[in-house]
Amino acid sequence: MKSLVCCVFALLGSIATIASCDKDYDTTCIKTIWYEDADGDGLGNPEVSQSACDQPNGYVANGNDIDDMGSSANSYSGTAAVTQGLATSTTGNIYPAGQRIAKIGTIRSAGNSDWTVPANVNYSDSSFPFAPDLYNPDGTQYNSVSQALLSFDDNNIVEIDASGEIITGYIFADNYFELYINGVAVGKDAIPFTQFNSHIVKFKVSTPYTIAMLLVDWEENLGLGSEANGGSNYHPGDGGMVAVFKDEAGNTVATTGSEWKAQTFYTSPVQDITCPTENGTLRSTANCNTDDANDGSNFYALHWEIPANWTDEDFDDADWPSATTFTNATIGVNNKPSYANFTDVFDESADDAEFIWSTNVILDNEVIVRYTVE
């Protein structure tokens, strides 16, 4: 309802000034979506917006400028491609039985490259074998290593070299792994996200041979390396993988530790794009915040291309960083039966395997590790 026209008369000497107003005092404003225009070209970033009655400083009504994503990340000087905000889901849920939804999505970087998050995986590829269960909450649950060995189906042994020796591997990964020996697919994780599970694998191979693994810390907030947890919508989850490999005589031939190589290819959430650093091939986010957030929708992510032949035994990983090791307490596994039932092999006193990851077990989400058994 319109207010009455108001007139104000003021006499200044012999001059009369008349001011009038006709204002709708009762009308509620209709908010407009405004987009951040970081480069000042009149076009805004479609992924950074706010609703307001009046135009905020630095924001415009047009949200058609994806180049603004690049200007927001101009202060980043590393080798990664930078994305900001949530990715678009392309695969709804690859494991419906899980406690969390294991989605896959894509996101476009400031340089107009498309990236798959959290990773390109072979989970739905029937030609890539699932690793046999050691302890699977949704499958077979063994109470001990000896029980698992007695029940192992030899049809699940993957032959790489006909004249080789049978090697047995025990693997616990948070959340997902794909295992290759000399470039041959040996086994993948049965549960991509949660619950937590573990596996036993057997393969026939001659020495020397190279173990290469893709490790993925899954995410609910695609493109932002986080999940709803502990009352926060954007909780950066953590990863971690431990493995032990034994020969036919039961001797340990490899355990995870700092002698392995590890490199990250997807890091998120990055709250401040200036915090990551690089030194040669060492990609570090040691200076970055890992706190929970209730709104992390505008946080950043870093992406690097994965070498095409990373699974091969002759791939040169000499300049990759050494794997970083973490304690059981840091990863938080002592209350998980998929690990705790098998501490006689994972925590064997003479050959104690350590949890490994790249430099940041919280922020690094797609990691490749490699080790050669001589």
Q: Which fold has domain 133-373?
A: Jelly Rolls (2.60.120)
Strand partners, 254: 245
> What DSSP designation does 151 have?
H
How far is Cα 204 from Cα 344, in angstroms, rounded to an integer?
A: 24
Residues recorded for the chain: 374
From the list 267, 238, 213, the residue with the least C-alpha distance to 329 is 238
**Judging by DSSP bridges, how do beta strands 252-255 and 104-108 pair with one another?**
unpaired
pLDDT digits (tens, 9 = 90+) for 96-132: 999 999 999 999 998 899 999 999 999 999 999 999 9
Share of the chain above pLDDT 90, in %: 79
From the list 198, 244, 201, 218, the residue with the least C-alpha distance to 337 is 198
pTM score of the predicted model: 0.83
pLDDT confidence tier of residue 52, bands split at 50, 70 and 90 = confident
